[in-house]
Amino acid sequence: MPFSDYFKDKYVAPEISAFTEASIPDLSEMGKPWLLSFMLNSGLVVQLDDPVRRTLYNFLRRAEGAFREYVSARAMTMAYLANPNPDAVSEYIAAIGYWESLLSQAYQAWCLLAKGEPVLFRPNDGSPMQRLNLLYGRTKHAEKAITAEQLPPEGTLPVWLKNDGLHSVDSGLTFDEIAEMLEELALWADAAQDPSTMREKIQAKYGTNPGQQTGG
Each residue's pLDDT tens digit, 59-77: 999 999 999 999 999 999 9
Flag whether 60 is in a domain. Answer: yes
Report, as ranges of residue numbers, the positions in the chain whose pLDDT lies below 50.
210-216
Which pLDDT value is given to residue 117? 77
Task: Give the separation between CA 99 and CA 113, rounded to whole angstroms.
Answer: 21
- Number of independent structural domains in the chain: 1
DSSP string over 112-144: HHTTT-S-S--TT---HHHHHHHHHHHHHTHHH
Flag whether 9 is in a domain. Answer: no
Residue 172 belongs to domain spanning: 50-214
Which pLDDT value is given to residue 212? 44
Which pLDDT value is given to residue 30? 95
Flag whether 142 is in a domain. Answer: yes
Which pLDDT value is given to residue 139? 94
Flag whether 185 is in a domain. Answer: yes
Task: Give the separation between CA 105 and CA 35, rounded to whole angstroms.
Answer: 15
Task: Give the separation between CA 49 and CA 59, rounded to whole angstroms.
Answer: 15
Task: Give the separation between CA 89 and CA 95, rounded to whole angstroms.
Answer: 10
Supply angle C-alpha 115, 120, 126, rounded to 5. Answer: 165
Which pLDDT value is given to residue 150? 87
Flag whether 181 is in a domain. Answer: yes
Flag whether 23 is in a domain. Answer: no
Flag whether 27 is in a domain. Answer: no
